[in-house]
Structure 1
Amino acid sequence: MPAREPQYGPEDGVELPIPEPPKPGERLTGDEPSAAARRSTDEPTAADTTDLRSPGAPESGTRSGFVALAGRPNVGKSTLVNAIVGRKVAIVSDKPQTTRRAIRGVCTGPDYQLVLVDLPGVQRPRDLLTERMQGRVETELRECDAALFVVNLEEGIGPGDRWIAEALRKANVPVIIVANKVDRLNKSKLITALNETNELGLDAEVFPISARYGDQVDALVDHVSALLPEGPFYFDTRDSSDQRLEVHLAELVREQVLRRTFQEVPHSVEVEVTDIERRDDELLIVSAAIWVETDSQQGILIGKGGDMVKRIGRAARKEIELEMDEHIHLDLTVRVRKNWRREDRLLDRLGIE
């Protein structure tokens, strides 16, 4: 496979294209359904997209398909998606439940296109939110063309890994076990950890990688692309994700919340972009609500004299400006909605299926 461009993130100051913002005078409001919310009607899952191939894609000699990334929380699935795509399409933090939606990133080569589905980390459902997240995992595993089973070599194989292995056996799809975080182990520990993957009982090749540093990522892409069915591409070759602008911006704000909060607060937070408006050719105004479940959580996120929400806003605005290459005014409000994780209608509106 020809060498791909080096992987960069927003911290490198590289312009990262995302869906087009509104033109002057246009507005996007929170009443518009997100990409995930529309998926059941006009964005079908992998099994239903046979007739949605990109009309401009090559007609023959190409392979394309949906590749699900499954694994326990914090094994590096989102980091791997970003490394393969070469863009930041999924937010990353060390908190469980960072990924709540099935994020799709697109990696296109000369004769292949991988549609990478970054799944929520497998965990025991505790409320409607986590029930929906785990339901999405099971659905995507059944409907994908291939699966990357990401395991954390540093932590070893656990019960969650065995649950995923069983789900993959039932799905009967080609599987590659991606043994991540090899950079954290010496040679002897690495060999021991790799041998532990035999406990999963899968007839699958094991790829040791470091998603963080990009080690062996190109080789992994070569291998998984060969497993995909022949056919034209699903997406335009310039696409890197199917996320709508307001969903992507909300996720960038939530990423900054996750990096600055602890204990129950990160799990109790969701962000909803309620309005996007261009005032002129040089300023985009983004309004977003940070939802929490209790008054005490609201107080923590606002901080003394508004210090915490200001720090979240500054960091999120910097990320957004780097990606969009324009000036942003970000207006954040922290709102209380008790038990929002158990509300069907709100989860539908937020696009969490």
Structure 2
Amino acid sequence: MTENTGFRSGFAALVGRPNVGKSTLLNALLGEKVSIVSSHAQTTRNKITGVWNGDNAQVVFLDTPGMHKPQSKLGEAIRQSTIDALEEVDLIVFLCAIDDPVGAGDRYILSLLENRKVPVILVLSKIDLIPKEQLLLKIAQYSRLYDFADIVPISAKTGDNLDELMNTIKKYLPEGPKYFPDDMVTDQPERNIAQEVVREKLLIRTRDEVPHAIGVYSEEFREEEDGRIYIRCTIYVERPTQKGIIIGKNGSLLKAAKKDATRELKKILGAPVDLDLWVKVSKDWKNKDYILRELGYKEHK
């Protein structure tokens, strides 16, 4: 078979259950942080576009939110965001954590992938956690559920098989143009990156106390005359008790999150950052259309 030497490019959606490591994998593949990571399920709420550039190929990744049955307008917007992503891509990468049992969530996602006209690659992550015999059993189990174009076991933590994954992805891409310049890693607006970084730092510190109740919106984002960047974010929570948790004793939690977010944003934006954080209680904000619009979600009737 003659190797095709033409330039290959296309869009690949990362899909999977909440908290299987899609954002971790995307960051590992790109070598830079474009998607926030925490131990909380459903950390990613918007589609994050990450651009991978290699010899004779460019892959544009959409890191979709973890799929689950929606319990609010926010949940429905998140679900629809993933459905929309599947209509835009040349390839689907279905990520499953090797240490999770195959469940209803996996079957639900696979049902959404049925009759798609693009290849679906199964990626089994965290292979560093189990012996090879168990891995082979897992591969056989998933193979009975769906006719995958390819199956690639990987570990984002150790880097095992990441090169093989990229080679597999490139193999299924069509010949096409370079969509983004070589030095571009993401198409996310800087103000969106700012609010995602702030939300990550809060999620890390609140753990299970405020599971999905945090929404962050960048009210202001401007460059001052001295080159500093001023960012003001509103942090939405649903109850006064959650506001207390976010602020912490004598403001300690909010100050710590602000310090970490400021440090990371300075690195990402390449300039000193003045970060101003405000916490606002808005009961049932996940079902309020105007807040969802602020956070960048489309309304779905």
Q: TM-score, normalised by structure 2?
A: 0.93
1:131 corresponds in structure 2 to 76
Cα deviation per residue 1:91-126 (whole Å; 9 max; x = unaligned)? 001101101011111111221111100011011100
Identical-residue share of aligned pairs (%): 39
Q: CA 1:299–1:224 in 2, change beyond 3 Å: closer, same or farther?
A: same
Q: Give unmatched runs, 5+ long, in structure 1.
A: 1-59
Do 1:153 and 1:190's aligned partners in 2 also have CA atoms closer than 8 Å? yes
How many Å separate the matches in 2 of 1:278 and 1:286? 9
Q: 1:88 aligns with which of 8, 13, 33?
A: 33
What does residue 173 of structure 1 align with? 118
Amino acid across the alignment from 1:319 = E
Please show how residues 1-353 of structure 1 align to structure 2 within 5 Å.
61-263=6-208, 265-281=210-226, 283-353=228-298
Q: Verify the 8 A CA contact 1:156 1:193 in the aligned structure 2.
A: no
CA contact (8 A) 1:287 1:330 kept: yes
SS at match of 1:80: helix
Q: Give the Cα–Cα distance (whole angstroms) in 2 for the partners of residues 197 and 184 of structure 1.
A: 18
Which consecutive segments of 4 or more residues in structure 1 shift more than 6 A? none
Q: Structure 2: which 5+ residue stretches go unaligned?
A: none
Give the Cα–Cα distance (whole angstroms) in 2 for the partners of residues 277 and 195 of structure 1: 53
In 2, the alpha carbon distance for the partners of 1:344 and 1:225 equals 39
CA contact (8 A) 2:23 2:37 kept: yes
Structure 1: distance between partners of 2:131 and 2:169: 27
Return the letter of the residue paired with 2:246.
L
Opposite residue 106 of structure 1, the aligned amino acid is V
Tell me the matched-pair count.
Answer: 294
* One-letter amino acid of the structure 2 residue matched with residue 185 of structure 1: I
Equivalents in 2 of 1:174, 1:190: separation in Å?
A: 22
CA distance in 2, matches of 1:203, 1:340: 39
- 1:67 maps to a residue whose letter is A
CA contact (8 A) 1:100 1:352 kept: no
**Cα distance in 2 between the residues matched to 1:75 and 1:65:** 24
- Post-superposition offset of 1:280: 4.1
Cα distance in 2, alignment partners of residues 68 and 237 from structure 1: 20
Cα deviation, 1:51-73, whole Å, max 9, x if unaligned, reads xxxxxxxxx92111110011001
Instruction: Give the whole-Å Cα distance in 2 for the aligned partners of 1:77 and 1:278.
Output: 32
Structure 1 residue identity aligned to 2:199: R
1:273–1:289 Cα contact (<8 Å) kept: yes
